[in-house]
Amino acid sequence: MSNLGKSMKNISILTAACLAVVLGLMVAPADTPPTTRPATKPATKPAPPAKPLTETEKAAIAGHDLLVDAYLKNDFEAIEANLKVTSAGIYKLSTEQRANVEYIRRAAQEQRPTWWPKTKSSANSSFQSGIWGKPLMTNYVPADELGVQMPVDVRDGKLIMVVSWRPTNVDNPRAADGALAKTLGVTKGDIGEVVVWHELGHLFISSAFSADTAYELYTKYELLYGHLQEFFADMTAIYHATPHARRIALVLRLDSLDPPYGKYREIEPHTRGANAIGSMFLSEVLMDPSKWPNVHLPPKVPETEPELKTIVYVYEHFTATWTFAEDKAMREWALKVVKTQGDQIFRSKGMIPLQEKNSFSLMEAQDREFQKKRDAWVTSKLNAAIAAKLTDKEPPASATMPGNHGTVITINGHTIRTGDQMPPRIEVPIY
Ligand SMILES: [Zn+2]
Protein backbone atom coordinates (compact mmCIF):
# COMPACT_ATOMS: atom_id res chain seq x y z
CA MET A 1 0.00 0.00 0.00
CA SER A 2 3.03 2.35 0.44
CA ASN A 3 3.06 3.68 -3.10
CA LEU A 4 -0.57 4.51 -2.89
CA GLY A 5 -0.40 7.61 -0.80
CA LYS A 6 1.96 9.79 -2.75
CA SER A 7 -0.52 12.02 -4.45
CA MET A 8 -3.35 13.57 -2.58
CA LYS A 9 -5.46 15.16 -5.22
CA ASN A 10 -8.15 17.75 -4.73
CA ILE A 11 -11.81 17.06 -4.50
CA SER A 12 -12.34 17.15 -8.25
CA ILE A 13 -10.80 13.71 -8.34
CA LEU A 14 -13.52 12.46 -6.09
CA THR A 15 -16.08 13.93 -8.40
CA ALA A 16 -14.39 12.47 -11.46
CA ALA A 17 -14.08 9.14 -9.77
CA CYS A 18 -17.68 9.20 -8.76
CA LEU A 19 -18.68 9.96 -12.31
CA ALA A 20 -16.64 6.99 -13.43
CA VAL A 21 -18.55 4.82 -11.02
CA VAL A 22 -21.74 6.39 -12.06
CA LEU A 23 -21.08 5.80 -15.73
CA GLY A 24 -20.43 2.20 -14.85
CA LEU A 25 -23.64 1.99 -12.91
CA MET A 26 -25.64 3.75 -15.56
CA VAL A 27 -25.22 0.85 -17.95
CA ALA A 28 -28.26 -1.30 -17.55
CA PRO A 29 -27.85 -5.05 -17.37
CA ALA A 30 -28.62 -6.52 -20.72
CA ASP A 31 -31.78 -8.19 -19.67
CA THR A 32 -34.13 -5.88 -17.89
CA PRO A 33 -36.09 -3.02 -19.37
CA PRO A 34 -36.43 -0.80 -16.28
CA THR A 35 -39.66 0.79 -17.30
CA THR A 36 -41.74 -2.36 -17.49
CA ARG A 37 -44.64 -2.40 -15.12
CA PRO A 38 -43.57 -4.13 -11.93
CA ALA A 39 -46.60 -6.21 -11.19
CA THR A 40 -47.94 -9.00 -13.28
CA LYS A 41 -50.95 -11.04 -12.40
CA PRO A 42 -50.91 -14.82 -12.22
CA ALA A 43 -51.43 -16.56 -15.50
CA THR A 44 -54.76 -16.36 -17.19
CA LYS A 45 -55.62 -18.80 -19.91
CA PRO A 46 -55.91 -17.38 -23.40
CA ALA A 47 -59.29 -17.42 -25.15
CA PRO A 48 -60.42 -20.86 -26.33
CA PRO A 49 -58.87 -21.61 -29.73
CA ALA A 50 -60.84 -22.49 -32.80
CA LYS A 51 -59.29 -25.94 -33.13
CA PRO A 52 -58.21 -28.30 -30.35
CA LEU A 53 -54.83 -27.66 -28.79
CA THR A 54 -51.99 -30.02 -29.63
CA GLU A 55 -50.17 -31.75 -26.81
CA THR A 56 -47.23 -29.38 -27.32
CA GLU A 57 -49.50 -26.37 -26.99
CA LYS A 58 -51.22 -27.73 -23.89
CA ALA A 59 -47.83 -28.43 -22.32
CA ALA A 60 -46.64 -24.91 -23.14
CA ILE A 61 -49.64 -23.33 -21.41
CA ALA A 62 -49.22 -25.52 -18.33
CA GLY A 63 -45.47 -24.94 -18.50
CA HIS A 64 -45.84 -21.23 -17.86
CA ASP A 65 -47.15 -21.69 -14.33
CA LEU A 66 -44.64 -24.46 -13.64
CA LEU A 67 -41.88 -22.16 -14.87
CA VAL A 68 -42.92 -19.33 -12.55
CA ASP A 69 -43.11 -21.79 -9.66
CA ALA A 70 -39.65 -23.21 -10.41
CA TYR A 71 -38.22 -19.71 -10.68
CA LEU A 72 -39.54 -18.72 -7.24
CA LYS A 73 -38.06 -21.92 -5.77
CA ASN A 74 -34.62 -21.58 -7.41
CA ASP A 75 -35.16 -24.94 -9.13
CA PHE A 76 -32.84 -24.31 -12.08
CA GLU A 77 -33.34 -27.76 -13.63
CA ALA A 78 -37.08 -27.26 -13.71
CA ILE A 79 -36.59 -23.73 -15.04
CA GLU A 80 -34.57 -25.09 -17.94
CA ALA A 81 -37.06 -27.87 -18.68
CA ASN A 82 -40.06 -25.54 -18.58
CA LEU A 83 -38.34 -22.92 -20.71
CA LYS A 84 -38.06 -25.60 -23.41
CA VAL A 85 -41.68 -26.67 -23.00
CA THR A 86 -43.08 -23.13 -23.07
CA SER A 87 -40.89 -22.12 -26.02
CA ALA A 88 -42.24 -24.99 -28.10
CA GLY A 89 -45.76 -23.53 -27.93
CA ILE A 90 -44.99 -19.93 -27.09
CA TYR A 91 -47.45 -18.61 -29.71
CA LYS A 92 -50.32 -20.03 -27.63
CA LEU A 93 -49.36 -17.98 -24.58
CA SER A 94 -50.80 -14.57 -23.78
CA THR A 95 -48.66 -11.47 -24.24
CA GLU A 96 -48.18 -11.28 -20.50
CA GLN A 97 -47.18 -14.95 -20.24
CA ARG A 98 -44.68 -14.57 -23.07
CA ALA A 99 -43.16 -11.57 -21.31
CA ASN A 100 -42.87 -13.64 -18.13
CA VAL A 101 -41.12 -16.48 -19.99
CA GLU A 102 -38.62 -14.05 -21.52
CA TYR A 103 -38.08 -12.30 -18.19
CA ILE A 104 -37.36 -15.57 -16.38
CA ARG A 105 -35.06 -16.79 -19.17
CA ARG A 106 -32.87 -13.71 -18.82
CA ALA A 107 -33.05 -13.38 -15.05
CA ALA A 108 -32.19 -17.05 -14.48
CA GLN A 109 -29.17 -16.78 -16.78
CA GLU A 110 -27.97 -13.81 -14.81
CA GLN A 111 -28.59 -15.52 -11.46
CA ARG A 112 -26.74 -18.70 -12.36
CA PRO A 113 -24.19 -17.66 -14.99
CA THR A 114 -21.60 -20.09 -16.36
CA TRP A 115 -19.00 -18.89 -13.84
CA TRP A 116 -21.23 -19.56 -10.81
CA PRO A 117 -19.67 -22.99 -9.97
CA LYS A 118 -16.35 -21.20 -9.42
CA THR A 119 -17.84 -19.37 -6.43
CA LYS A 120 -17.76 -22.62 -4.47
CA SER A 121 -14.25 -23.62 -5.44
CA SER A 122 -12.12 -24.96 -2.59
CA ALA A 123 -9.02 -23.35 -4.10
CA ASN A 124 -8.06 -19.78 -5.06
CA SER A 125 -9.54 -18.98 -8.41
CA SER A 126 -9.53 -16.08 -10.88
CA PHE A 127 -12.42 -15.74 -13.25
CA GLN A 128 -14.49 -13.22 -15.15
CA SER A 129 -17.76 -12.60 -13.32
CA GLY A 130 -20.43 -10.11 -14.34
CA ILE A 131 -22.16 -7.40 -12.28
CA TRP A 132 -24.69 -4.83 -13.47
CA GLY A 133 -24.26 -6.14 -17.00
CA LYS A 134 -20.48 -5.62 -17.05
CA PRO A 135 -17.64 -8.17 -16.97
CA LEU A 136 -15.59 -8.07 -13.78
CA MET A 137 -12.19 -9.69 -13.23
CA THR A 138 -12.58 -11.60 -10.00
CA ASN A 139 -9.86 -13.02 -7.75
CA TYR A 140 -11.50 -15.29 -5.23
CA VAL A 141 -10.01 -16.88 -2.13
CA PRO A 142 -12.10 -19.40 -0.16
CA ALA A 143 -12.34 -18.58 3.54
CA ASP A 144 -14.03 -20.13 6.50
CA GLU A 145 -15.47 -17.23 8.41
CA LEU A 146 -15.84 -14.04 6.45
CA GLY A 147 -17.27 -12.51 3.37
CA VAL A 148 -14.72 -9.82 2.58
CA GLN A 149 -13.14 -7.75 -0.15
CA MET A 150 -9.57 -6.49 0.31
CA PRO A 151 -6.73 -4.92 -1.69
CA VAL A 152 -3.67 -7.12 -2.19
CA ASP A 153 -1.57 -5.35 -4.84
CA VAL A 154 -1.32 -2.41 -7.23
CA ARG A 155 -0.93 -3.15 -10.94
CA ASP A 156 -1.02 -0.57 -13.76
CA GLY A 157 -2.20 2.07 -11.31
CA LYS A 158 -5.15 -0.03 -10.17
CA LEU A 159 -5.77 -1.79 -6.91
CA ILE A 160 -5.91 -5.53 -7.26
CA MET A 161 -8.63 -6.78 -4.95
CA VAL A 162 -9.54 -10.22 -3.76
CA VAL A 163 -12.98 -11.33 -2.67
CA SER A 164 -13.51 -14.05 -0.16
CA TRP A 165 -16.37 -16.06 1.30
CA ARG A 166 -17.32 -19.41 2.71
CA PRO A 167 -17.69 -21.75 -0.29
CA THR A 168 -19.65 -24.31 1.69
CA ASN A 169 -22.55 -21.87 1.96
CA VAL A 170 -22.93 -21.48 -1.81
CA ASP A 171 -25.90 -23.55 -3.11
CA ASN A 172 -26.14 -25.29 0.29
CA PRO A 173 -29.76 -26.57 0.64
CA ARG A 174 -29.56 -27.00 4.45
CA ALA A 175 -31.75 -24.79 6.61
CA ALA A 176 -30.06 -21.72 8.05
CA ASP A 177 -29.98 -21.37 11.84
CA GLY A 178 -32.27 -19.02 13.73
CA ALA A 179 -35.99 -18.72 14.42
CA LEU A 180 -36.69 -16.20 11.68
CA ALA A 181 -34.63 -18.25 9.24
CA LYS A 182 -36.89 -21.23 9.97
CA THR A 183 -40.07 -19.19 9.56
CA LEU A 184 -38.96 -17.84 6.20
CA GLY A 185 -37.45 -21.13 5.00
CA VAL A 186 -34.01 -19.55 4.57
CA THR A 187 -31.25 -21.92 3.43
CA LYS A 188 -27.51 -21.60 3.95
CA GLY A 189 -27.43 -21.30 0.17
CA ASP A 190 -29.56 -18.14 0.35
CA ILE A 191 -27.05 -16.63 2.79
CA GLY A 192 -24.14 -17.86 0.68
CA GLU A 193 -25.36 -16.22 -2.47
CA VAL A 194 -26.24 -12.93 -0.77
CA VAL A 195 -22.65 -12.79 0.51
CA VAL A 196 -21.21 -13.64 -2.94
CA TRP A 197 -23.24 -10.92 -4.68
CA HIS A 198 -22.47 -8.43 -1.91
CA GLU A 199 -18.70 -8.93 -2.24
CA LEU A 200 -18.90 -8.74 -6.02
CA GLY A 201 -20.83 -5.48 -5.58
CA HIS A 202 -17.87 -4.14 -3.56
CA LEU A 203 -15.51 -5.31 -6.28
CA PHE A 204 -17.58 -3.59 -8.95
CA ILE A 205 -17.28 -0.22 -7.16
CA SER A 206 -13.58 -0.67 -6.32
CA SER A 207 -12.75 -1.64 -9.88
CA ALA A 208 -13.96 1.75 -11.09
CA PHE A 209 -11.17 3.63 -9.29
CA SER A 210 -7.45 4.13 -9.84
CA ALA A 211 -5.24 3.19 -6.89
CA ASP A 212 -4.62 6.88 -6.13
CA THR A 213 -8.29 7.69 -6.08
CA ALA A 214 -9.09 4.64 -4.02
CA TYR A 215 -6.42 5.71 -1.53
CA GLU A 216 -7.86 9.19 -1.36
CA LEU A 217 -11.36 7.85 -0.85
CA TYR A 218 -10.18 5.52 1.89
CA THR A 219 -8.24 8.26 3.70
CA LYS A 220 -10.03 11.58 3.16
CA TYR A 221 -13.53 10.14 2.94
CA GLU A 222 -13.11 6.91 4.82
CA LEU A 223 -16.44 6.93 6.61
CA LEU A 224 -18.49 8.18 3.70
CA TYR A 225 -16.80 5.80 1.27
CA GLY A 226 -17.37 2.88 3.63
CA HIS A 227 -21.06 3.75 3.89
CA LEU A 228 -21.43 4.09 0.13
CA GLN A 229 -19.63 0.79 -0.43
CA GLU A 230 -21.89 -1.15 1.93
CA PHE A 231 -25.02 0.47 0.55
CA PHE A 232 -24.16 -0.39 -3.07
CA ALA A 233 -22.92 -3.88 -2.16
CA ASP A 234 -26.26 -4.69 -0.51
CA MET A 235 -28.19 -3.18 -3.45
CA THR A 236 -26.11 -5.39 -5.76
CA ALA A 237 -27.13 -8.44 -3.74
CA ILE A 238 -30.82 -7.47 -3.82
CA TYR A 239 -30.79 -7.14 -7.61
CA HIS A 240 -28.62 -10.14 -8.50
CA ALA A 241 -29.91 -12.70 -5.99
CA THR A 242 -32.37 -15.45 -6.88
CA PRO A 243 -36.01 -14.97 -5.87
CA HIS A 244 -35.52 -17.33 -2.91
CA ALA A 245 -32.67 -15.22 -1.55
CA ARG A 246 -33.66 -11.70 -2.60
CA ARG A 247 -35.57 -10.61 0.54
CA ILE A 248 -32.94 -12.29 2.66
CA ALA A 249 -30.44 -9.63 1.56
CA LEU A 250 -32.58 -7.21 3.62
CA VAL A 251 -33.45 -9.54 6.47
CA LEU A 252 -29.83 -10.57 7.17
CA ARG A 253 -29.18 -7.05 8.52
CA LEU A 254 -32.13 -7.17 10.92
CA ASP A 255 -30.04 -7.85 14.01
CA SER A 256 -27.85 -4.81 13.23
CA LEU A 257 -30.88 -2.57 12.76
CA ASP A 258 -32.48 -3.81 15.94
CA PRO A 259 -29.72 -5.35 18.05
CA PRO A 260 -30.70 -7.76 20.78
CA TYR A 261 -27.83 -6.85 23.10
CA GLY A 262 -26.73 -3.36 22.24
CA LYS A 263 -27.90 -0.20 20.69
CA TYR A 264 -28.12 0.82 17.08
CA ARG A 265 -24.60 1.78 15.97
CA GLU A 266 -24.95 4.97 13.95
CA ILE A 267 -21.40 4.93 12.66
CA GLU A 268 -21.32 1.34 11.42
CA PRO A 269 -21.43 1.34 7.58
CA HIS A 270 -23.32 -1.97 7.09
CA THR A 271 -25.99 -0.78 9.53
CA ARG A 272 -26.38 2.61 7.89
CA GLY A 273 -26.46 1.05 4.42
CA ALA A 274 -29.12 -1.41 5.60
CA ASN A 275 -31.12 1.38 7.24
CA ALA A 276 -31.06 3.36 4.00
CA ILE A 277 -32.26 0.35 2.02
CA GLY A 278 -34.97 -0.38 4.59
CA SER A 279 -36.10 3.23 4.44
CA MET A 280 -36.20 3.12 0.63
CA PHE A 281 -38.09 -0.17 0.50
CA LEU A 282 -40.58 0.95 3.14
CA SER A 283 -41.19 4.14 1.20
CA GLU A 284 -41.98 2.06 -1.91
CA VAL A 285 -44.37 -0.17 0.04
CA LEU A 286 -46.16 2.70 1.79
CA MET A 287 -46.91 4.35 -1.56
CA ASP A 288 -49.21 1.39 -2.32
CA PRO A 289 -49.32 -1.41 0.28
CA SER A 290 -51.86 -3.34 -1.79
CA LYS A 291 -49.11 -4.17 -4.31
CA TRP A 292 -47.21 -6.08 -1.61
CA PRO A 293 -49.53 -8.77 -0.20
CA ASN A 294 -46.68 -10.55 1.62
CA VAL A 295 -45.27 -7.44 3.26
CA HIS A 296 -46.95 -6.89 6.63
CA LEU A 297 -47.33 -3.50 8.26
CA PRO A 298 -47.74 -3.02 12.02
CA PRO A 299 -51.26 -2.74 13.48
CA LYS A 300 -50.43 0.64 15.05
CA VAL A 301 -47.81 3.31 14.59
CA PRO A 302 -44.75 2.48 16.74
CA GLU A 303 -44.46 4.89 19.68
CA THR A 304 -40.79 5.67 19.13
CA GLU A 305 -38.68 5.78 15.96
CA PRO A 306 -41.69 4.96 13.76
CA GLU A 307 -39.70 4.50 10.57
CA LEU A 308 -36.99 2.21 11.96
CA LYS A 309 -39.44 0.18 14.05
CA THR A 310 -41.70 -0.27 11.03
CA ILE A 311 -38.76 -1.50 8.94
CA VAL A 312 -37.98 -4.00 11.71
CA TYR A 313 -41.63 -5.08 11.84
CA VAL A 314 -41.73 -5.55 8.06
CA TYR A 315 -38.59 -7.72 8.07
CA GLU A 316 -39.79 -9.81 11.00
CA HIS A 317 -43.22 -10.39 9.46
CA PHE A 318 -42.52 -11.25 5.84
CA THR A 319 -44.66 -14.24 4.90
CA ALA A 320 -42.71 -17.31 3.84
CA THR A 321 -44.36 -17.21 0.44
CA TRP A 322 -43.59 -14.46 -2.03
CA THR A 323 -45.26 -13.83 -5.36
CA PHE A 324 -43.62 -13.54 -8.76
CA ALA A 325 -45.03 -10.00 -9.03
CA GLU A 326 -43.49 -8.97 -5.70
CA ASP A 327 -40.14 -10.49 -6.54
CA LYS A 328 -40.09 -8.82 -9.93
CA ALA A 329 -41.09 -5.49 -8.39
CA MET A 330 -38.29 -5.73 -5.81
CA ARG A 331 -35.68 -6.66 -8.43
CA GLU A 332 -36.74 -3.85 -10.75
CA TRP A 333 -36.81 -1.40 -7.86
CA ALA A 334 -33.16 -2.23 -7.02
CA LEU A 335 -32.17 -1.84 -10.66
CA LYS A 336 -33.98 1.47 -11.00
CA VAL A 337 -32.35 2.92 -7.88
CA VAL A 338 -28.84 2.01 -8.97
CA LYS A 339 -29.35 2.90 -12.60
CA THR A 340 -31.17 6.20 -12.21
CA GLN A 341 -29.99 7.41 -8.79
CA GLY A 342 -26.58 5.75 -8.31
CA ASP A 343 -24.81 8.71 -9.88
CA GLN A 344 -26.60 11.24 -7.74
CA ILE A 345 -26.12 9.25 -4.52
CA PHE A 346 -22.33 9.18 -5.02
CA ARG A 347 -22.00 12.80 -6.11
CA SER A 348 -24.17 14.10 -3.29
CA LYS A 349 -22.02 12.26 -0.71
CA GLY A 350 -24.62 9.72 0.27
CA MET A 351 -27.90 11.61 -0.12
CA ILE A 352 -30.62 9.18 -1.20
CA PRO A 353 -33.86 10.53 -2.67
CA LEU A 354 -37.06 8.84 -1.48
CA GLN A 355 -40.73 9.01 -2.37
CA GLU A 356 -42.61 12.30 -2.00
CA LYS A 357 -39.54 14.50 -1.57
CA ASN A 358 -38.13 12.65 1.40
CA SER A 359 -34.39 11.99 1.70
CA PHE A 360 -32.02 9.70 3.57
CA SER A 361 -28.43 10.72 4.30
CA LEU A 362 -26.10 7.77 4.75
CA MET A 363 -24.12 9.94 7.17
CA GLU A 364 -26.18 9.90 10.35
CA ALA A 365 -25.23 13.36 11.62
CA GLN A 366 -26.50 14.86 8.35
CA ASP A 367 -29.65 12.74 8.47
CA ARG A 368 -31.35 13.94 11.65
CA GLU A 369 -33.64 16.55 10.11
CA PHE A 370 -34.52 14.18 7.26
CA GLN A 371 -35.20 11.44 9.81
CA LYS A 372 -37.72 13.66 11.61
CA LYS A 373 -39.49 14.37 8.35
CA ARG A 374 -39.50 10.67 7.39
CA ASP A 375 -40.86 9.66 10.79
CA ALA A 376 -43.76 12.07 10.28
CA TRP A 377 -44.29 10.78 6.72
CA VAL A 378 -44.27 7.12 7.81
CA THR A 379 -46.70 7.94 10.63
CA SER A 380 -49.14 9.58 8.25
CA LYS A 381 -48.86 6.81 5.63
CA LEU A 382 -49.26 4.11 8.29
CA ASN A 383 -52.34 5.83 9.69
CA ALA A 384 -53.82 5.88 6.19
CA ALA A 385 -52.98 2.18 5.72
CA ILE A 386 -54.54 1.35 9.10
CA ALA A 387 -57.71 3.24 8.12
CA ALA A 388 -57.79 1.33 4.81
CA LYS A 389 -57.34 -1.98 6.70
CA LEU A 390 -54.07 -2.69 4.89
CA THR A 391 -52.07 -3.42 8.05
CA ASP A 392 -51.92 -6.39 10.42
CA LYS A 393 -54.52 -6.72 13.13
CA GLU A 394 -53.53 -6.44 16.78
CA PRO A 395 -52.20 -9.80 18.00
CA PRO A 396 -54.31 -11.44 20.74
CA ALA A 397 -53.11 -10.62 24.27
CA SER A 398 -52.32 -14.29 24.92
CA ALA A 399 -49.71 -14.18 22.17
CA THR A 400 -47.73 -11.43 23.85
CA MET A 401 -44.68 -11.87 26.00
CA PRO A 402 -42.67 -9.13 27.71
CA GLY A 403 -39.35 -8.52 25.98
CA ASN A 404 -36.41 -6.34 26.89
CA HIS A 405 -37.60 -3.76 24.38
CA GLY A 406 -41.04 -3.75 25.99
CA THR A 407 -42.53 -5.02 22.73
CA VAL A 408 -43.92 -8.32 21.64
CA ILE A 409 -43.11 -9.78 18.30
CA THR A 410 -44.70 -12.87 16.90
CA ILE A 411 -44.20 -14.26 13.43
CA ASN A 412 -46.90 -16.45 12.03
CA GLY A 413 -47.71 -17.51 15.54
CA HIS A 414 -44.08 -17.99 16.67
CA THR A 415 -42.70 -15.67 19.33
CA ILE A 416 -39.16 -14.84 18.37
CA ARG A 417 -38.21 -12.05 20.72
CA THR A 418 -37.90 -13.14 24.28
CA GLY A 419 -35.81 -10.42 25.89
CA ASP A 420 -32.15 -10.23 26.85
CA GLN A 421 -31.39 -13.82 26.03
CA MET A 422 -32.69 -13.48 22.53
CA PRO A 423 -30.60 -15.44 20.01
CA PRO A 424 -29.93 -14.02 16.54
CA ARG A 425 -32.96 -14.20 14.28
CA ILE A 426 -30.73 -15.59 11.55
CA GLU A 427 -27.18 -16.79 12.08
CA VAL A 428 -25.00 -15.23 9.46
CA PRO A 429 -21.25 -14.82 8.96
CA ILE A 430 -19.86 -11.28 9.05
CA TYR A 431 -19.90 -9.82 5.56
ZN1 LIG B 1 -19.52 -5.27 2.76
**pLDDT tens digit sequence for 312-364:** 999 999 999 999 999 999 999 999 999 999 989 999 999 999 999 999 999 99
Q: For residue 189, how far is its CA from the centre of ligand 1 (angstroms)?
A: 18
Measured in Å, residue 270 CA sits from the centre of ligand 1 at: 7
In a domain, 315, yes or no: yes
pLDDT, residue 406, reads 44
Q: With residue 288 as reference, give the H or E element that holds it.
A: none
**Would residue 110 count as lying in a domain?**
no
The torsion angle over the Cα atoms of residues 264, 270, 275 and 278, rounded to 10 degrees, is -130
Question: In angstroms, how far is CA 64 from the centroid of its own chain?
Answer: 26
Ligand 1 centroid – CA 227 distance (Å): 9
The pLDDT value recorded for residue 21 is: 46
Query: The domain containing residue 219 runs over which residues?
Result: 2-29+170-415
Kindly state whether residue 191 falls inside one of the protein's structural domains: yes
Alpha carbon of 283 to ligand 1 centroid (Å): 24
Q: What is the pTM of this model?
A: 0.83
CA of 333 to the centre of ligand 1 (A): 21
State in Å: Cα 226 to ligand 1 middle. Answer: 8
Residue 318 CA to ligand 1 centre (angstroms): 24
* 292: DSSP letter: -
| Continuous segment of H or E residues that includes residue 134 | strand 134-142
* Centroid of ligand 1 to alpha carbon of 40 (angstroms): 33
CA of 296 to the centre of ligand 1 (A): 28
Give the side-chain half-sphere CA count within 13 A for 136: 27
For ion ligand 1, residues whose CB falls within 5 Å = 230, 233
Looking at residue 13, its pLDDT comes to 38
Residue 45 lies in a domain: no
Give the residue ranges of the chain where pLDDT is below 50: 1-36, 38, 400-406, 418-420
Examine residue 325 and state whether it is found in any structural domain, yes or no.
Answer: yes
| Residue 154 included in any domain | no
Ligand 1 centroid, distance to 404 Cα (angstroms): 29
Tell me the sheet residues that pair with 165.
142
Whether 132 maps to a domain, the answer reads no
Find the 148 Cα to ligand 1 centroid distance in Å: 7
Q: Which pLDDT score is estimated for 68?
A: 98
Cβ atoms 193, 209 nearer than 8 A: no
**Ligand 1 center to residue 234 CA distance, Å?**
8
Contact present, 86 and 118 (Cβ < 8 Å)? no
**Residue 92 CA to ligand 1 centre (angstroms):** 46
Q: What is the structure's pLDDT at 264? A: 80
Q: Can you give the pLDDT at residue 416?
A: 53
Distance 397 CA to ligand 1 centre (A): 40
Report how many domains make up the chain.
1
Q: Could you tell me if residue 35 is inside a domain?
A: no
